[in-house]
Structure 1
């Protein structure tokens, strides 16, 4: 049986994604990630690069008593990482030629 806490986190991530989507996307929910394609980078790789940025922030936050930017805690960073991972999966699924990579 699934953990109630884990399921609650999944529900929270859905709401987070919807809220951020409303701020960024407009008509295409992943349009802000597709911008990478204008520079010759597949959208899923662009999203993976954003994951790397969030990972770097997570590692940095682990080394300090608390975040200097109060608006983004360690938990906020981990939530962003989780959503980015799902976005990478979704974007990879759109491009058959990238699936084998």
Structure 2
């Protein structure tokens, strides 16, 4: 499989995971940002980054979550934040951008 096809395969996997989790949890991600501002996204991205860092530094596997799973989640949270920004037209109260 060439790199472009592999990329599309991964983004399809991300979309399927997004669909499944939104079905299970509803759109709690957007509701969190609406309530707390973009700091809510930063916290979730930070949690996944910290998990990734822990996995690579300890060279260990966490039960039910691989490095790959963590990176898929991290990428999905980034895309979900872009979706939120696009929906708001990037005209977001300045307070929403503060950490």
Tell me the TM-score normalised to structure 2 length.
Answer: 0.78
Counterpart in the other structure of 1:88 = 81
- Aligned residue pair count: 92
Structure-1 residue corresponding to 2:49: 55
Alignment CA distance shift 1:70-1:50 (3 Å): same
- 2:13 maps to 1:4: no
Partner of 1:21: 22
Higher relative contact order (CA 8 A, sep 6+): 2
Structure 2 portions without partners, runs of 5+: none
